[in-house]
Every structure is written in structure tokens, then in C-alpha cells.
A and B are shown apart, each in its own frame.
Chain A
Amino acid sequence: MTSTDAPAIAEAYRMQLSRRRSYSALLWAIFALLMISGFWLADDRNAGGFWEGLPRIFDYPSELVAEAVQKAGNLPGLMLNALPALVETINIAAVATLLGGLGGGIMALLSTRGLAPWPRLVPLFRRLLDIARAIPELVIALVLIFILGGGPVPAAIAIAFHSVGALGKLFSEVAENASLKPVEGLESVGASWLLRIWFGIIPQVAPNWASYAMLRFEINIRASAILGFVGAGGIGYELRNAISWGQGRYDAAAAIFILLFATIVLFDQLTSVARNRLVRGQEQGQYGGRI
């Protein structure tokens, strides 16, 4: 457009604006249609309807709370009983995060350009990470439960496998941004690949890697509770047993609900504080902290 005619420019702008607005209105309409029809379809395929269920939504929680209050004396004992299962759930998550962090770190280094010992294999390792990320924990857990029997080990392996994929990708993004100068310095004095990574890269990426691993730990606690529900031990398994007892034993379910809730909130807050500290500590380092 070579015209410098102000009204024409204004007109063209208005046209463009209204076109853009009608596009976004169309997008919103499609989105609304998808949401409404999706909701309607989900409602249709559900055993109970949404509108019939809505008034009853507080029935179960209120029964649960009423009975828990009535038998409040039982709660501490029941919680104590469920404590070993809770510890198991946390152990599953912790081991899975440790192994996932270890595996993810190795995979990340193998799949980061500039750091990988075999640059040609970088795409292969990336695809492997994609696959590890795409396979849901449930799938691996169920297969392993069939082979290894129920218990914490299948869950730990399943979550660790998925964590390798999830953490590997994030770790590799961090490692990509690391400065290569220390690596070059180490290379100039003849350090091997392992030494270059250990002294040149790991100190740079450690805070961010730790922060991501903590976030993963929190996610893994939830995952390990859910996997317990499908038969992999821990608090989820106890919960399934407790809720299947039904009325009259709601206190047991309530005790586990409280424990699980408290644990998730606790680790949510803990990791959030720790992550803030790590990231802030790093910022201080950038502005000239200690060596």
C-alpha cells in the first residue's frame, strides 16, 4: 500500500480490525459449542445425570463429615494405622523422583546439543524421552503388577519411568542454556567428558534441576496415591478398601482423606518454599555472590 491518504488508511485499519474481531468471535463460538456439546455428551454417557446429581453433591461429604465428627475419637487411631501406608506412598514417590532425576539427568545430557558425547544420537535420545513421557504411569504399573504382583515396586518403577521422560526434557532445556565456557576450559586441560560435565555443567544446572525435581516429587506423590488405588499399594490401596466398606465405616475413609490431603498440601507448600529459595539463591549468585 503506497497510499498516504489518511481516511483510506483508517478505513483499511477498521476493515482489518473488524475482520480480526469476527475471526475471534467465530473462534469463541466454536469453543463454546465444543464445550456445551462436550458437556452434554459427557452427561449423556455418564451413569447418573449432572442435574440429578447436583443436589446430592454434598450428601456423601456431609455423611462422611458427620460420621467422622461423631467418631472423632477413632480418627487418631485410624490415622496411625494408615501411617505406614502413607509412608509407603511417599517412599514410592521419593524413590521414583530420585531414579527419575538420575535417569532424566543422564538422558538430558545425552540429548542436549553441544554437550552430548555422541551428537549423532541426540535425536534418538530425544525420541526415547518423548516415548517415556507419553506412556502413562497407569499402563506400566498395570503391566508390572501382573508380572511382579501388587505392591510398591511396580508403582515406583512406573512413576520413575515417566519421571525420566518428564524431567529429561526439562533438564535438557536447562542444560541447553548453560554456559559452555567452563566446559571449554576443562577441555583445554584435557578433562574427559565425564569430568567436563561434572565440573563444568552440573554446578550450573544443579539449582534448576533440583527445583524441577521437587516439582516432580509433588506430582509423583499424587500419582503414587492414585496408582495405589488401582492396586499398587500405599495409601491409595487403603483408601479403596476403606471406601468399599461403605456406611458405618466412614471414619476410616475420613481418616485417610485427611491424611492424604494434609500430605499433599504439606509437600505442595514445602516444595514451593524450597523452589523459591533455590531460584532466588541462584539470582543472588548471578549478581556476584560467593564463588
Chain B
Amino acid sequence: MAVLDTNPVHELIGRKRLVSLAAPALILAYLVYVAISFDLAGLAGRARFDNGALLLQDFWSYKIHVTRDNRGEGAFETSIEGMRNATFSAANEPGWIARREDDGREITLPRGHSVTIAGDGLVTLATPEASYAIRPTGDGIEADIPDPPPNFSISDKRFSATLPEGARLTVTRSRSEVFRRQAGWELFFFDLSSPFYGRSLPQLIGLALSGERLDPERSNIAGMAQDFWNNSIWHHGDVAWAMFETVLMAFLGTFGAGLISLPIAFMAASNFAPSRIVRQLFRRFFDFLRGVDALIWTIILSRAFGPGPLTGSLAMLLTETGTFGKLFSEALENVDEKPIEGLRSTGAGALSRVRWAVIPQIAPVILSQLLYYLESNTRSATVIGAITGGGIGLLLMQAMQTTQNWEQVTYYIVLIVLMVMLMDWLSGRIRARLIRG
């Protein structure tokens, strides 16, 4: 292309073209550098995708464990996810577990598989193709399977088979265990100790309406509410409290900061500050509060107040005082001076000038900022709760750390997202109404 050096337009376009090529190249180079420094190549090796699969499976289903204790007297136990407080009694055991004459169990699994555990401990796994026998012994297991299928893993200590639809059989010398997956979240409404467990919705409605008390102590509706609230697996009551705590932290932090920073913001606004030094001082003070950040404030405050929602609220309050101080002082710098002059001409004092000439001008800005931050602070409160030990964030962290209760993790995630969306909607509604009115 013939570029005329004398033509400044061509030069300009050439420069722009260079920039438009160089900027993506720079960004690409940076991304490559980061990919190397984050060890993206090694990530695939370290990643545990089986964990991901487990998590996805647990999101929508749960396991029922049938366990035989091979050490003691060969006792059987059927429970949900192996939880002690979710153990089935003989009466409410699922239908696919059959008791045998010799006190063993016959367990039907999906797609034509079944497992029979005899009273003497012999385990027989029947697939549609063949049948395999595994016997736990005093120091390991005996399994004579010459050509095992790929889903079996056999050593002299342990036999395990991954079966269709998430089922699994494990035999060691200490116990034989069968997992079977069921869709849904187990015992979400009532745990096994509740008389309302295992009833369908129409049955429950019937019970709630009819006077026949399942439990003579309390009416059916009250009983249902109590059993739901105190569910020993899902702890709905505690979860509701935790959600409330999180919203409370956001509420106290945001509006507390608003109340504190509004009067101070006058000192940082150029048209209200008594002198430049005072203004600079307050601006730096706000920068300091913001710069320390909620993370550090949380750590410092939790030393004095201990973990809990108060610490979280105060940490958020301090950070947001810095943010609001800056925002409000900017709003104050933009106020129209004329109403103030008008009030001054009537001999009004400083306080009445602020009340009648300044506040009405900045109130919509302040309110809309506060409400906007209320929503974003609900999200921050989740994170701060995870650090300082309060609210739904902590529950989420704890449920994650057990690496078992993934259905509860899902539950918390759903609740958090709903909570944030609700706060977003609510603050948007209030904002629209206040600013219109």
C-alpha cells in the first residue's frame, strides 16, 4: 500500500491500525504469561474431575448405604449417606432391600443387577451376564474372579465394583457395603424420627386439615412446622437464621456506614470543608478506611469481638464508610448553591441551611447509592461470613469442607442466589419508588 507521508490522515490511520493490532497482541501476550505463571498446563493433571462428577451427582441425588459389619456379629445397617441420624428401622426400610431367612439381605440394584449378602457374610454380585462370589475373611477378602470386568477393582484387601446408575459394591474385611442412588434430596422435609416422614403431599394436607393427631402432644400443623424447622439433617431453622444473619450484616453495615459517613462527608467536600487541610485530611481518612478493606478489618475486629455477625457488620461498616464518604462528598460538591444562598438571605443558621437546602438535593442520590450497595453488600456479607464465622457463608464453607454433604452445598447455593436476587429486586423496587416520589 502506498502511504503518502505528506498526508497526515494516512499517518493517523496508520497509527490507529498499529494500536489496534498492538493492543490485542499485548493482551494475548499477558494472557500467555499468566497461563504460564498459573501453571494452566499442570492444572489438567491436578484437577479431580471425579470430584466434579460426584458433586454433580450429589446435586440431584443421594445414596442409601446398606452396610454389613464383617467384624462383629454381622449386623446390618441401612442409612442415608451413612449418617447415624438417618438410619432406617426395619419398618421403614426401602422396598428394594429384602431380608433373607439366614438374616442376610438381598439387595436389588438397577439394570438387572443384584447383591446378596448371606448371613455368614458371603457376598454374591449378580449382573445380567454372570455371578461373582466374594468372601470377606479375617485378614482380607477372597474373590476368585479370573477375568474381572473393567468396572471391578480387586486386591487381596478390597473388592469394589462400580455398577450402573451410581450404585457401588465394596467389600473389605471390616465391612461389606452397597450404595444405591435415589433421585432427589433425602429427608428434605422431615427426618426419619418424624411421624410425618414418608407421607405424600395429599396425605400431609389431609393430616393438616383433619383433627386426628399423629402425636397427641401437638396438632398436626404445628408438628409438621416443628419437625420441618428442626429437621436434624437439613437444619432448616439454623439455615434460616444464617440467611437472616447475612442480610442483617449487610443491612447494619450499609445503613450504619451511611449514617456515619453523611455528616463526615461535609468535611471532605470542597464547598463545605472549613479549610483545604481539613478536606484533604478527611479525604485521606476515607481512602484509608477503604484501602484497609473488609478483609483486614474483619481480621482486626474479630480479635476484639470474636467471630460472629457483629464483627462482620462492623468490618463492612468501616469499609463502606470510606466508600460512602467519597461518594457523598462528591455528591455534595455537585449541589446547587442557589437554595443555600436563598436560605442564608433569610438568616437561617448552618444546620437549617443543610437540612432545607442541601439534604433535599442529595437525598435521592444517597438513597439510591445506599440501596445499590445494600444488594452488593449482601453478596459481600456471604464472603465475610465465611471468614468471620457467621451467616450462610460459614454454613457453605463448613458443608464444603466435609466434602460429603454436596446436596446441602447445592441447597445453600440455591438459597444464596435467591437471597441476592431478592435483595436486588427489593432494592430496585424501593429505589424506583423513592426516586419517583
Contact = CB atoms under 8 A, between A and B. Distances in A.
Contacts of A212: none
Contacts of A257: 296
Given A94-B30, A139-B413, A243 B252 contact: no
B310 interface: yes
B390 interface: yes
Interface stretch (A67-75, A174-182, A261-269): A261-269
Contacts of B310: 39, 42-43, 45-46, 50
A138 B382 contact: yes
23 contacts: A39-B256, A41-B248, A45-B309, A46-B310, A48-B304, A59-B304, A91-B37, A98-B30, A134-B417, A135-B417, A139-B382, A143-B400, A146-B51, A146-B403, A147-B47, A149-B46, A153-B38, A225-B295, A236-B295, A239-B295, A239-B299, A264-B290, A265-B287
A104 to B, nearest CB: 15
Given A38-B248, A46-B306, A95-B31, A156 B38 contact: yes
A281 interface: no
B365 interface: no
Contacts of A60: 300, 303-304
Contacts of A57: 301, 304
A168 to B, nearest CB: 14
A125 interface: no
A167 interface: no
Main DSSP-derived SS at the B contact region: helix
Nearest to A253: B299
A120 interface: no
Nearest to A155: B38
A268 B290 contact: yes
Nearest to B389: A47
Nearest to A219: B376
B309 to A, nearest CB: 4
B292 interface: yes
Contacts of A123: none
B51 A147 contact: yes
A226 interface: yes
Interface string A200-226: 000000000000000000000011011
B305 A53 contact: yes
Given A146-B55, A147-B51, A136 B383 contact: yes
Nearest to B50: A147
B115 interface: no
Interface in B25-67: 27, 30-31, 34, 37-40, 43, 46-49, 51-52, 55
A131 B396 CA distance: 19
A82 interface: no
Interface centre among A46, A60, A230 (most CB of B within 10 A): A46
A131, A136, A227, A265 — most chain B CB neighbours (10 Å): A136
B306 A47 contact: yes
B393 interface: yes
Given A138-B382, A146-B403, A153-B40, 18 more contacts: A35-B255, A45-B308, A45-B309, A50-B305, A59-B303, A94-B30, A95-B31, A135-B416, A137-B383, A138-B386, A142-B400, A148-B43, A148-B46, A149-B46, A151-B39, A152-B38, A268-B287, A268-B290
Interface of A: 31, 34-35, 38-39, 41-43, 45-50, 53-54, 56-57, 59-61, 88, 91, 94-95, 98, 130-131, 133-139, 142-143, 146-149, 151-153, 156, 222-223, 225-227, 229-230, 236, 239, 243, 257, 260-261, 264-265, 268-269
Contact of A42 (B31, B308, B393): B308
Nearest to B382: A136
A261 B296 contact: yes
Contacts of A227: 383
A8 B34 CA distance: 75
Contacts of B40: 153
Contacts of A50: 305, 310
A149 B52 CA distance: 11
B251 interface: yes
Contacts of B307: 46-47
A233 to B, nearest CB: 9
A83 to B, nearest CB: 13
Contact of A147 (B39, B49, B288): B49
Nearest 4 A-B pairs (CB), nearest first? A46-B308, A47-B306, A48-B306, A46-B310
A230 B387 contact: yes
A85 B45 CA distance: 23
Contact of B305 (A35, A47, A151, A152): A47
A69 B47 CA distance: 43
B291 interface: yes
Nearest to A139: B413
A270 B351 CA distance: 36
Contact of A136 (B304, B400, B416): B416
A184 B307 CA distance: 59
Contact of B292 (A138, A230, A261): A261
Contacts of B413: 135, 139, 143
B421 A134 contact: yes
Nearest to B412: A139
Contacts of A46: 305-311, 390
Contacts of B379: 134, 136-137
Contacts of B287: 265, 268-269
Nearest to B251: A38
A236 B299 CA distance: 12
B306 A226 contact: no
Contact of A134 (B252, B389, B420): B420
B116 interface: no
A123 B371 CA distance: 24
A35 B48 CA distance: 46
Interface in B276-298: 287-288, 290-296
A98 B403 CA distance: 32
B321 interface: no
B375 to A, nearest CB: 9
Given A35-B256, A226-B295, A136 B38 contact: no
